A and B are shown apart, each in its own frame.
Chain A
Amino acid sequence: MYPRAIKSYFAPTEVSEVLALLGQHKGAAKLLAGGQSLMPLMKLRLVEPRVIIDLNHVQGLNEISERAGVLTLGAMIRHVELATHARIRQSYSLLADAAGSIGDPQIRNRGTLAGSLVHADPAADYPPAVIALNGRLVLTKPTGNTRIVSADDFFVGPLTSALDEDELVTRIRIPAPSAHTGGAYSKNCQVAGDFAIISVAAQVVLTPSGDCQQATIVIGGVMPKATRAPKAAAVVVGTSLDEATLLRAGEAAAAEVETQDDVRASAVYRSQLIRVTVPQMLRQAVARARKVEA
């Protein structure tokens, strides 16, 4: 119900302060972003940080900007911002879809992009979307050393990311889409806003004549983490994305991605959901791609 006693609480306003505190307290400190994932863990006492570094007042972590073919997102961008941002909805629909699927309005008001990514829940909404968009995370240490980690490499396993205990995610970079690109994300869950039984992120790039030039399919809700389905994606590349091809892609994804039994659903049912949802998301991605001008 209630967290263990916290020894120190800091509310820095600069990234440099955050890094200094991380350097000083690493191991004992937790970064508090939106809190929608961390607070339950603290209340369950599964996590008992002695030091809390509150990121909510830090300047410079809230940008949404597109420059030189790269969309840069600040770590502390709230889900509601991504879900409602006109440019994100238009050109990075995968991300807007995923952000809008998370939890409920109150959760979306507080939850952050980086906070959710670092939590690395296999049934969360961002990982399949950020992987499908070839996102890269910018991580900084107290020494000032910065490394860039691809989304693929960032998720290590259930609730485990590649973030070191003295590292801060400052931004997420996503390559800007070329013309005729469209993406879609949806999840299947027991009640609205719940974690995914499975989820599907699909992105397609069309040729000027409307055939499929590139395709990406990523499946969430599977263990140990969101998984790419390249063989399924390959099924649609070079085709006109007709109905029969989309269905074959669904079959291929169901065969390609290993699913598991758990309290929410059986492996067999998860595979069926993949089989059915992949064509739906491809169809929607194509429709969106067709609306985007060069």
Chain B
Amino acid sequence: MKREITITINGEPYTATVEYRLLLVDFIREVAGLTGTHVGCSVEGRCGACTVIVDGKAVKSCMLLAVQADGAQVMTIEGLARGDQLHPIQDGFWEKHGLQCGFCTPGLLMTLYEFLKTPKHSDEEIRAAMSGVLCRCTGYVHIVEAVKHAIAKVEAMTPEERKVWFPQ
């Protein structure tokens, strides 16, 4: 029914004994106390607000059991910035008004984190990259601008800077 697991989130290990049925998003929010990742739907895994990075890939954390992430490296919205410095995607969202209520924003930022590792440039491709996160406030227009702003910053990075901003 239960097992002890350790999940490293934003570089910090969290160890707890959890029920097998505990969802990864609930481990992140309630066991680790990182409430930046949000839950916006019930069973369907459609809204995407719970998206986090697990071993380098954007996944909906409500669609994984926490036990599946035992030993994994997870990154959440809280892990994007480096001290006072914002990640390019955070900076883009701020510059271009890519959020209003902010509820879907964590899901978008983490999905776009993965996208920025090998970014594409057309509007269609940018929109496709974020098609797994639903936003009700912005109509997505400013978010596309935010992504383009971030792409420019990322493409100007040195390989060393890339390693810093894209650790997984």
Let me know if chains A and B touch directly in the complex, using CB atoms closer than 8 Å. yes
A68 contacts the other chain (CB 8 A): no
Residue of chain A at shortest CB distance from B58: A106
In which size bucket is the chain A interface? 20 to 34
A193 interface contact, C-beta 8 A: yes
Interface residues in A168-203 by Cβ distance below 8 A to B read 192-193
How distant is B157 from chain A, measured CB to nearest CB, in Å?
A: 22
A13 located at the interface, meaning its Cβ lies under 8 Å from any Cβ of chain B in the complex: no
Check: A104 CB closer than 8 A to any chain B CB: yes
**Complex interface: stretch among A38-46, A154-162, A256-264, A284-292:** A38-46
The interface residues of chain B, by DSSP majority, are classed as mixed
B60 touches A106 (CB 8 A): yes
**Chain B binder among A4-12, A16-24, A135-143, A241-249:** A4-12
Residues on the B chain within 8 Å of A56, using CB? 68
Contact in complex: A109, B21 (CB < 8 Å): no
Q: Please give, as numbers and ranges, the residues of chain B lying within 8 Å of A103 by CB-CB distance.
A: 132
Contact between chains at A5 and B19 (CB < 8 Å): yes
Q: Which of the four size classes fits the interface of chain B? A: 20 to 34
In the complex where A105-B131, A192-B131 touch, is A9 in contact with B43 (Cβ < 8 A)?
A: no
26 pairs from A and B in contact (CB 8 Å cutoff): A1-B42, A4-B21, A5-B21, A6-B1, A6-B21, A7-B20, A11-B68, A32-B68, A35-B64, A39-B45, A40-B45, A40-B63, A43-B43, A44-B43, A54-B67, A103-B132, A104-B132, A105-B129, A105-B132, A106-B59, A106-B111, A107-B60, A107-B132, A110-B59, A110-B60, A110-B63
